Amino acid sequence: WHFRELPLLVAAGGAPAPELVVAVVPEARGRGAGRRLLDALVTRAAGHGHAQLALNVHVRNPAVRPYSRSGLVVTGKGRGASRWPAGRARRPGRPPRRRP
């Protein structure tokens, strides 16, 4: 929490909730870093009075597993891939492709 008031609030189950944006560097994946990070975020959110958190992840993303292990549950599904206006999507760990 780097802000006095959380900037990203979404409706999760009908109540406002901070939206998480979480990333783990490739070399730390599979070592419990994501789980520890999520546990710390859940604890911190509770300390700020938030009973719910929200996030957006593709159903085939490996991050779904640590999210569900941390107690987060699916409350809705979107309509497909996200659009990234500032750049193009790429696979984790790979540099962006250069346009010819």
Indicate if the pLDDT at residue 81 is higher than 60: no
Indicate if the pLDDT at residue 69 is higher than 70: yes
One-letter amino acid at 25 equals V
Q: Residue 59: inside a domain, yes or no?
A: yes
Q: Residue 16: inside a domain, yes or no?
A: yes
Indicate if the pLDDT at residue 100 is higher than 70: no
Q: Residue 26: inside a domain, yes or no?
A: yes
Q: What angle do CA 23, 16, 50 make, to 5 degrees?
A: 70
Mean pLDDT of 22-29: 88
Residue 18 three-state SS: strand
Mean residue pLDDT across the chain = 71
Q: How many domains does the chain have?
A: 1
Q: Residue 4: inside a domain, yes or no?
A: no
Write out pLDDT tens, residues 29-68. 889 888 888 888 888 888 888 777 778 888 788 888 888 8
Q: Residue 90: inside a domain, yes or no?
A: no
Q: What is the pTM of this model?
A: 0.59
Q: Which domain holds residue 51?
A: 9-69
